[in-house]
Amino acid sequence: MPTFVDNKLSYIPWGGDNQIPFAILDLIEKDETLATCQCFNAEVCYGSGLRYDTCFVSVSVKNEVEDFILDNDLASYFLGVSQGFKHFGFAVSVLILNEDGTKIVRLIRKEASYCRFAPADASGKIPKILYANWRKVVSIFFRI
């Protein structure tokens, strides 16, 4: 059942107390063998990382690609995405565009354990993903 934040915003909690992903991570971290295996699985999924080839592009495109690689830690990004898939079965990425909206300038991974989905619409599309510190939820009560 959705949890309502207000009249326009609700999300699907992750388990009865909304703490399932943190419980999963705690269980993984408590078992050294499991933690090592999960890390190994993520690394296998990750492989040898992203390889890009700029042999057949212009100098300006090559420079843009190299600038993007320098500004974004892609190795860390892809390993984190792989861990998200291995632990929770999904990953959330945020694309930051330039002012014109014509190219991607940043690529950011959001930790799956801090993501919650809004309820799907009639066509099955999830309209929003909420990102927050769900470990420290503050309840607000209103008096009327």
Which stretches of the chain are DSSP H helices? Answer: 20-30, 32-46, 59-71, 74-88
Task: Give the Å distances, CA to CA, from 24 to 43, 73, 88, 99.
Answer: 19, 26, 9, 39
Residues 44-74 have pLDDT tens digits of 776 666 778 899 999 999 999 999 999 999 8
**Model pLDDT, residue 141:** 44
Which stretches of 56-141 are DSSP H helices? Answer: 59-71, 74-88
Structural contact between residues 37 and 28, judged by C-beta atoms closer than 8 angstroms: no
Residues 66-97 have pLDDT tens digits of 999 999 998 889 888 888 888 899 999 999 99
Interval 100-108 mean pLDDT? 94
Instruction: Name the maximum alpha-carbon separation found in the chain.
Output: 67
